[in-house]
Amino acid sequence: MLSFYPGPSKVHPEVLGFIQEAFSNGVVSINHRSERFEILLKDTLQVLHEKWNIPQDYTLYFISSATEAWEIVAQSLVEEKCLHLYNGAFGKKWAHYAQQIIPNAVSFEFGLNEDLKSVTSSFGTKGFDTICLVQSETSNGTGQNICRSDFNLNEDAIIAVDATSTLGGINLPWLEADVWFASVQKCMGIPAGLGVLICSPKALKRATKLNKKVHYNDILLMEENRKLFQTHYTPNVLSIYVLNKMAHLLPNLTEINQQTNEKAKLLTDFFSQTNSFNLSFLVENPWVRLPTVFALRGEAVQIKKLQDLCSKNNIELGKGYGSWKEHTIRIANFPSHTLEDFSHLLNLIKS
């Protein structure tokens, strides 16, 4: 089955070999406090810094998923008041969970075709110590440009960004935010079960100031272990090993970004024309259209017809999410997807 589901999605074909390799050489049984694991973790953090062009003074941590990062930000980094700006289901969920932890959490929902800059121009952000943004909203296929200067912030305010459907697939402006996070089952192209959290020196300074060590995954406890090239809990060693191998194998993110855009253009050109299923872009504004998750809308009967056609041909498309469930499909464009994969899909739709 060729999966275009927007996570979990198609994994890189080399992953199976690395999983077998990990079993054969005993990686799946190593202790996460052992020297062997420390060597693996140190190399993994280093290669991700290099391949993803992450600033050297930003720190990486492994967690269970991007969803866990929602709580980590609220528990370890929000001082008194955070602001959540969102336009989709996952941003709304993040805001909901934050409000259970931070009584002063404020949320604001903006339109599907709006960009953050236009939203913040009419929305005061000065009084918040933490701004929480969704760079890639998987539920509706919107993507936002993250720019610190778009916000009127106090000097010590931090920005946290959910980049679940883009981290590892496009270049991200690391210096424009202090926390970035994602899960591996999307652009990283490996099975679900691991998350990546990236923090700036400013974020660590905030964590140190708050000095919270009451949760197992508070950032200060994670940092204490990272300095030893260990993790704060027994991690998914298999996923770390596979991510390590794939990071070494794949090109620099700049090259991957170019490939992502090339495939996105192929999809954009195809669905900009008349097609037999009368599909159109859910996100009409091309400047906020996510290059890694395409959301297309149509009549419910046509959506079902296309889903059935693809299923009969061993292709899985993403279903719509939330209020768009019956009238949209979502097509992932992750690094694991090739031009040949898309040619196969688009030829099927044309036929």
Please state, in angstroms and rounded to a whole number, the distance separating the CA atoms of residues 204 and 179. 10
Average pLDDT, the chain: 95
- Given a cut of 80, whether residue 170 has pLDDT beyond it is yes
- Given a cut of 90, whether residue 274 has pLDDT beyond it is no
The answer for 67, left when phi > 0, alpha when psi is -120 to 50, beta otherwise, is alpha
Virtual torsion, Cα 251, 10, 302, 313, nearest 10 deg: 120
The burial of 266, by beta-carbon neighbours within 10 Å (0-12 exposed, 13-18 middle, 19 or more buried), is given as: middle
- Given a cut of 90, whether residue 121 has pLDDT beyond it is no
282 token code pair: 């859910």
Q: Which CATH architecture does the domain made up of 15-249 adopt?
A: 3-Layer(aba) Sandwich (3.40)
Record the pTM. Answer: 0.96
- Given a cut of 80, whether residue 122 has pLDDT beyond it is no
- Given a cut of 80, whether residue 143 has pLDDT beyond it is yes
- Could you tell me which of 158, 189, 152, 160 has the C-alpha nearest to residue 91? 160
Mean pLDDT over residues 218-237, rounded?
96
Per-residue three-class SS string for the chain: CEECCCCCCCCCCCHHHHHHHHHHCCHHHCCCCCHHHHHHHHHHHHHHHHHCCCCCCCEEEEECCHHHHHHHHHHHCCCCCEEEEECCHHHHHHHHHHHHHCCCCEEEECCCCCCHHHHHCCCCCCCCCEEEEECEECCCCEECCCCHHHCCCCCCCEEEEECCCCECCECCCHHHCCEEEEECCCCCCCCCCCEEEEECHHHHHHHHHHCCCCCCCCHHHHHHHHCCCCCCCCCCHHHHHHHHHHHHHCCCHHHHHHHHHHHHHHHHHHHCCCCCCCCEECCCCHHHECCCEEEEECCHHHHHHHHHHHHHCCEECEECCHHHCCCEEEEECCCCCCHHHHHHHHHHHHC
pLDDT value of residue 55: 97
Q: Could you state, in order of their start, the residue ranges of all structural domains in the chain?
A: 2-8+252-350, 15-249
- Given a cut of 80, whether residue 168 has pLDDT beyond it is yes
- Given a cut of 80, whether residue 308 has pLDDT beyond it is yes
Superfamily of domain 2-8+252-350, CATH level 4: Aspartate Aminotransferase, domain 1 (3.90.1150.10)
Please state, in angstroms and rounded to a whole number, the distance separating the CA atoms of residues 126 and 153. 5
Phi, psi of 330 (to 5 degrees): -125, 135
Q: Is 193 within 8 Å of 19 (Cβ atoms)?
A: no
Please state, in angstroms and rounded to a whole number, the distance separating the CA atoms of residues 168 and 112. 24
pLDDT value of residue 177: 98
Virtual torsion, Cα 334, 339, 340, 341, nearest 10 deg: 30
Please state, in angstroms and rounded to a whole number, the distance separating the CA atoms of residues 298 and 76. 43
Phi, psi of 195 (to 5 degrees): -125, 155
Please state, in angstroms and rounded to a whole number, the distance separating the CA atoms of residues 181 and 198. 6
Per-residue model confidence as pLDDT tens digits over 238-267: 999 999 999 999 999 999 999 999 999 999
pLDDT bracket for residue 123 (50, 70, 90): confident
- Given a cut of 80, whether residue 336 has pLDDT beyond it is yes
- Given a cut of 80, whether residue 210 has pLDDT beyond it is yes
Phi, psi of 317 (to 5 degrees): -100, 155
More confident residue, 324 or 247: 247
Per-residue model confidence as pLDDT tens digits over 29-82: 999 999 999 999 999 999 999 999 999 999 999 999 999 999 999 999 999 999
Please state, in angstroms and rounded to a whole number, the distance separating the CA atoms of residues 351 and 333. 21
Residue with tokens 């993110």: 253
pLDDT bracket for residue 335 (50, 70, 90): very high
Mean pLDDT over residues 212-229, rounded?
96
pLDDT bracket for residue 97 (50, 70, 90): very high
